[in-house]
Structure 1
Amino acid sequence: MHENNSYPSPKRAWLTVGILLVAYVLSFVDRQILNLLVEPIRRDLQISDTEMSLLMGLSFAIFYTVAGIPLGRIADSKSRRGLIAGGVAVWSLMTAFCGLAQQYWHFIIGRIGVGAGEAALSPAAYSLIADSFAPNRRATAISVYAMGIYLGAGAAFLLGGIVVTWANARGAMVLPVFGEVRPWQLIFLVLGAAGLMFCLVLLAIKEPTRKGIGAGVAVPLKDVANYLLGIRKAVLCHNFGFACLSFASYGASAWIPTFFIRNHGLTAGEVGIYYGSLVMVAGSLGIVFGGRLADFLAQRGCLDANMRVGLLSAILTLLCNVVYLVDNMPLLWTIMFFNVFTVAMPFGVAPAAIQEIMPNAMRGQASAIYLFTITLIGLGIGPTAVALFTDYVFQDDMAVRYSIFIVASVITVGSIILLAMGLKPYREARDTLTRWGEQQGQPG
């Protein structure tokens, strides 16, 4: 098959990244808004910290991961723009459904639907960006897209903080059709409507031609599995190493608002505004810095630059975890800024690393497996692990600070070990890709 290897113009490529970034922001607002609404939702649904953690994590993560792999295979051969638009529509409808929840199981169903819809976004987005930018600019471009994690999480805290403050003064509202709506329910209804309207913006994305080794090659599922088995050491160290960082990140961030409220006496509104602003700034700076550093190292011949940035991030994050034991507020906020910065660094380079070791026709599937791993382990287990320590080990709501510190620190050590072990296998996987391309008549 004849392949057009020219990349889109920088303007077109960055427009694509910008639109995908907004989609990612919306997805993370929908995903993370629960973290600031723990107390009102617990009160209204009469549930425990552990039950609340299942809404934050496992109910979303299971269906996000289950749906991700078949959707990743679709992204490798069908319209990526169309796939993303369908996913946005589904998760927005289900976010609005969460706003109608009257019982715990209603909320569980809504979170399952949000997870299934969001699974369509990132595998297709990574593939679109990889085909829009040359390899030596890819980590930066994917890191800009991945800023959506921190812009979205920060916006969720800010939005939640503003609404909680407003709600304390006003209380429930009566809306046409829906009747009496509590303030936390109104947030979900508004977010769902915003996502549905955004679907029209996705029409501005123009699909780039598929490029690189494996572009235009129809690869049976069996061959994808065999290829992954051939580079399994690199894949396992990469996926589980970054999953440990995701575990630490999700586990901590799910309970940091509660940590500030319980241990430092802040109101939910104050946490939303202060911590939300910090997350948006420090997280965005950290993730783009990680991408720029990886591209800088790659341009100087470092073949495992993306993995090395992940390892550096894990080491720095472990040092910053002391923040949960600090009582001096100015010092706490200073360390928290660096903690969020270092935690953010690897989440652009991790998916960029996959693009460097997989044929084009397998990128979406490999990205979906990566997302399966980090989401099931990170979001699926992280928040609940912290809650279990608080509820069953310490049996004290005020011990949440120690739960976060222990869980985040232990799992970050695991990440350091795995990423260090993965450096050599990752370099070997890049050689495997070159040989595969030569066998297909597509030398790199």
Structure 2
Amino acid sequence: MKDAPVMSESKRYRTLVLWLLTLMYVMSFIDRQIIGILSPFIKAEMGFTDAQLGWLKGLAFALLYSIVGIPIAWLADRYSRKKIVTISLIAWSAFTALTGTANSFLHMFLARVGVGIGEAGGSPPAHSMISDLYPKEQRASALGVYSLGIPIGIGFSYLLAGALVESLGWRGTLLFLGIAGIALAIVLALVIKEPKRGQLDGHDIQLKSVGIGESISTLAKIPSWWAMCMGIAWVSFGGYAVSAWGIDYVMRFKPEYMPNPDNNNFEWLMFWFGMIHLFGYGAGTYFGAVITEKLAKKNISFYGIMPGAVLFIGVPALIGAFWVQNIHLHLLLVTIYLLSAGVYLGPSFAAAQTLAPINMRAMSTALFFLILNIIALGGGPTYVGWMSTFLTEAHGETHALRLAISSLVVPYVISIIAFFLAAKTLPKDWAEAESRNKIMANQE
């Protein structure tokens, strides 16, 4: 009886930690996404080409974000994850503010590289901490909540742009976000405590330290881990590209939605893009994780089946959105896509954590993000920017961008294939992971 209050307090505490880490993830996606929304204003002031903007939106951020995540994850599997998360949030927020002071392409490129370096220390230690606060049966939904940081972050990036750009300008908006991130880092430092590693996977966990090479070798030999990684990487290739260029497309196709003191079209557009990401992408992310978790109790393969199956609906809706002539129909089709696109997040990250040995969990997430972001974040926006510039002379800026986005159907098909391949190998790999972690746990 004496233990009950402690357990109750523990549940409240872990919920608080989960939402604080989710809020940190929200900030990371606001800082990551905001460049895509501010892109038309940066282009107007700085005179950048689509190819240059593509580099800023994609490769500049992903370049070191992907690589630095590996040594940071190695540290997170050994040292205080709380400290790593806090320092990382301060770093990327400061570089977000510096992006707002850029006076050249090189200056802005380097600032975006700095944002990427900082954000590399966010998710790997956060995923590891969440996995030590929630048992494996609840990890998909817990990581689904954490993954809500993506739709909430993207949604609020639109809402904040609509609220701040006209009053603060694109530079002032970035300065505001930098200051807000540093304030959140202080809250994290004061509230979060470092959880005991592996505490929900058995009794008296004895963790053996492993090197980066051994971690990579071990994880790469798990077929389901690799297939889920490819699935999330190629669906994100399209997702990052669309997020980075969607507003550019609308403002070229419908220039009346540029900021104008004589109407509120820009604020209206930002509001609805914010809403469909918050509630469309958010619903797909949360309910996709919850439904998959329930289905997976009967068949683990649903961790791969669900993310792949829903894309058969979402991808045609997305491509269609860039060919319709009506802005309301465009928003409706993008909403359908976002509902399907969010489904992969919780299942993919839960698989990454559960399939990995306990002492490689931060590294597992870091490797997921390394592959994902080199392919998706580095490739998606950069590819569309390059393709749009290549096609502009023959087709004009608007149609060139439409064609570049439409060609994203190819990576989406690769993603669907990868998720269904994962579904075939997941039962065997999941069972082996459970057996391996029981041995590591030294259960009494």
Q: Provide the TM-score with structure 1 as the length reference.
A: 0.90
Alignment of 1:62-77 (within 5 A): 62-77=63-78
After the TM superposition, which residues 51-66 of structure 1 pair with which residues of structure 2 at under 5 Å, given as runs? Answer: 51-66=52-67
Q: Is the 8 A contact 2:205 2:440 kept in 1?
A: no
Decide which of 190, 203, 206 is 2:176's aligned counterpart. Answer: 190
- Superposed CA deviations along residues 22-76 of structure 1, whole A, max 9, x for unmatched, are 1111111111111111122123222101101111110100111111011111111
Change (3 A) 1:46 1:198: same
Distance 1:8 1:74, change over 3 A: farther
The answer for the alignment partner of 2:224 in structure 1 is 234
| 1:95-106 alignment, distance < 5 Å | 95-106=96-107
Matched, 1:109 2:101: no
Q: How far did 1:285 drift?
A: 1.0
CA-based RMSD of the aligned residues comes to: 2.1
Question: Closer, same or farther in 2 for the Cα pair 1:337/1:210, shift >3 Å?
Answer: same
Map 1:39-438 onto structure 2 (within 5 A): 39-166=40-167, 183-202=169-188, 203-211=190-198, 212=201, 215-221=205-211, 222-231=213-222, 233-265=223-255, 266-267=257-258, 269=266, 270-299=268-297, 301-321=298-318, 322-395=320-393, 396-399=396-399, 400-407=401-408, 409-437=409-437
Q: Is the contact made by 1:136 and 1:298 (CA closer than 8 Å) also made in structure 2?
A: no
Letter in structure 2 aligned against 1:263: F
Q: Distance in 2 between matches of 1:440 and 1:14?
A: 27
User: In structure 2, do the counterparts of structure 1 residues 324 and 83 end up closer, same or farther at CA, with 3 Å as the change threshold?
Assistant: same
The secondary structure found in structure 2 opposite 1:345 is: helix
Kept after mapping to 1: 8 A contact 2:58/2:382: yes
The number of residue pairs the alignment matches comes to: 421
CA-CA distance at 1:439 after TM superposition: 5.1
User: Please, which runs of 5 or more residues in structure 2 have no aligned partner?
Assistant: 1-6, 260-265
Q: TM-score, normalised by structure 2?
A: 0.90
Q: Is the 8 A contact 1:128 1:208 kept in 2?
A: yes
Q: Which amino acid aligns with 2:252?
A: R
Residue range with higher mean Cα deviation, 142-151 or 386-395: 386-395
For 2:102 and 2:232, locate their aligned partners in 1 and report how far apart those are by CA, in whole Å: 34
Deviation at 1:410, TM superposition (A): 1.4
What is the match of residue 18 of structure 2? 17
Q: Is the 8 A contact 1:356 1:430 kept in 2?
A: yes
Give deviations 1:235-271, integer Å, cap 9, x for gaps: 3211111100000100111111112111134225243
Unmatched runs of 5 consecutive residues or more in structure 1: 1-5, 168-182
The question of whether the paired residues in 2 share the 8 Å contact of 1:36 and 1:161 is answered with no
Q: What's the CA shift string for 1:122-181, capped at 9, x where partnerless?
A: 0111111111112222111111111111111111111112223336xxxxxxxxxxxxxx
Partner of 1:325, secondary structure, is coil
Q: Distance in 1 between matches of 2:441 and 2:226?
A: 28
Distance (Å, rounded) in 2 between the aligned partners of 1:295 and 1:85: 30
Query: What's the CA shift string for 1:208-249, capped at 9, x where partnerless?
Result: 222227944123224323422431x22321111110000010
User: How high is the sequence identity, in percent, across the aligned residues?
Assistant: 28
- Measure the CA separation in 2 of the matches of 1:397 and 1:369: 36
| Secondary structure, aligned partner of 2:271 | helix
Contact 1:210 1:216 in 2 (8 A): no
Secondary structure of 1:197's match? helix
